[in-house]
């Protein structure tokens, strides 16, 4: 059974607290990986301050690789692929309902149907105050999203955060994690994502919030 809302309880509370407390005024926010538009997207819609802009990017097309469909990786990509059109329609309706019912919030919502790697290159440096990465969880695409996020984030103050990664850490990264004193979780892979973040950003950002 594939959940339509993938902002799991526990995680959702942290996400809500983060967006609420990090920004006191209107911001430009970017979400990569929207799915049904009722998980993380709803959190941003409900918490962004009036006058904010939210840009939603998702191809809403099948994206499982051959290995994803044939190997047991603990995640049902095949079923997700079958639901991509439903997910797109759900997002469209959710955004439309929000705009109808909460016009008073004055949010501008731009929904882009594209792969992040094809669309992000068109966006200007420093364009966003908040970036949430939850698109294709394969290493090359996550890396691409993180590198773009680094370019796109407001360097005075910005928050980049995201979901996990479908890859078992390599020996090299395990060694790196030990030297950085970061624990790698083989189950959730979340810590591995943090590690890749840290590795890519090093000291170029003043702080990282997860």
Ligand X SMILES: C[S@@+](CC[C@H](N)C(=O)[O-])C[C@H]1O[C@@H](n2cnc3c(N)ncnc32)[C@H](O)[C@@H]1O
User: CA angle, corner 102, sides to 96 and 106, nearest 5?
Assistant: 95
Nearest distance from C-beta of residue 93 to ligand X, angstroms = 15
Nearest distance from C-beta of residue 174 to ligand X, angstroms = 25
Query: Among 28, 40, 47, 191, which residue sits at the site for ligand X (rule: CB under 6 A)?
Result: 40
E strand segments, the chain: 28-32, 53-57, 108-112, 130-133, 159-162
Query: Among 34, 152, 165, 195, which residue sits at the site for ligand X (rule: CB under 6 A)?
Result: 34
The answer to whether 57 contacts ligand X (rule: CB under 6 A) is yes
Query: Among 19, 28, 30, 33, which residue sits at the site for ligand X (rule: CB under 6 A)?
Result: 33
Query: Among 5, 53, 99, 154, which residue sits at the site for ligand X (rule: CB under 6 A)?
Result: 5
The answer to whether 135 contacts ligand X (rule: CB under 6 A) is yes
Nearer to ligand X, 133 or 194 (CB): 133
Nearer to ligand X, 65 or 157 (CB): 65
Nearer to ligand X, 40 or 191 (CB): 40
Phi, psi of 53 (to 5 degrees): -120, 135
The answer to whether 52 contacts ligand X (rule: CB under 6 A) is no
The two structure tokens encoding residue 63:
């994206």
The answer to whether 94 contacts ligand X (rule: CB under 6 A) is no
For the stretch 175-202, what's the b/e string if a residue is b when 16 or more beta carbons lie within 10 angstroms of its beta carbon? ebbeeeeeebeeeebbbbbbbbbeeebe
**Partners of 111 in beta bridges:** 56
The answer to whether 58 contacts ligand X (rule: CB under 6 A) is yes
Cα dist. 189→68, 82, 118, 147 in Å? 17, 25, 26, 19
The answer to whether 116 contacts ligand X (rule: CB under 6 A) is yes
The two structure tokens encoding residue 79:
């079923």
Interface with ligand X (CB under 6 A): 5-7, 32-35, 39-40, 57-60, 63, 84, 87, 115-117, 134-136, 141
């Amino acid at each position: 059974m594939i959940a339509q809302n993938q902002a799991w309880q526990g995680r959702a509370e942290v996400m809500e607290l983060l967006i609420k407390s990090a920004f006191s005024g209107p911001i430009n926010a970017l979400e990569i990986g929207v799915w049904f538009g009722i998980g993380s997207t709803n959190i941003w819609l409900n918490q962004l301050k009036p006058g904010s802009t939210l840009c939603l990017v998702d191809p809403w097309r099948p994206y499982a690789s051959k290995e994803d469909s044939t190997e047991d990786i603990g995640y049902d990509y095949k079923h997700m692929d079958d639901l991509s059109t439903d997910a797109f329609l759900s997002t469209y309706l959710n955004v439309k309902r929000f705009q109808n019912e909460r016009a008073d919030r004055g949010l501008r919502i731009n929904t882009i149907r594209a792969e992040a790697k094809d669309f992000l290159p068109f966006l200007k440096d420093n364009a966003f105050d908040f970036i949430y990465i939850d698109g294709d969880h394969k290493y090359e695409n996550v890396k691409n999203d993180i590198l773009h996020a680094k370019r796109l984030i407001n360097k005075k103050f910005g928050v980049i955060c995201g979901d996990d990664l479908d890859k078992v850490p390599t020996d090299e990264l395990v060694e790196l994690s030990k030297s950085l004193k970061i624990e790698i979780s083989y189950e959730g892979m979340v810590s591995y994502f943090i590690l890749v973040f840290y590795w890519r950003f090093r000291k170029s950002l003043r702080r990282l919030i997860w």
